[in-house]
Amino acid sequence: MQSIDAEGLHFHDLRHTGNAFAASSGAKLRDLMARMGHDSERAALIYQHESLDADRAITDAIDRHVPAKRPDDEDEGGEAGVLAPVG
Residue 19 lies in a domain: no
pLDDT averaged over 10-residue windows placed end to end, the chain, 87 residues: 72 82 83 88 78 74 75 56 69
Alpha-helix residue ranges (DSSP H) falling in 1-87 = 11-24, 29-36, 41-65
* Number of domains present in the structure of the chain: 1
Q: What's the pLDDT score for residue 42? A: 85
Beta-carbon-side half-sphere exposure of residue 48 (alpha carbons within 13 Å): 14
The answer to whether 51 touches 24, Cβ cutoff 8 Å, is yes
Domain range enclosing 38: 26-61
Q: What's the pLDDT score for residue 6? A: 77
Residue 57 lies in a domain: yes
For residue 81, which of 66, 64, 69, 63 has the smallest C-alpha distance? 69
Question: If DSSP codes are grouped into helix, strand and coil, which group holds residue 44?
Answer: helix
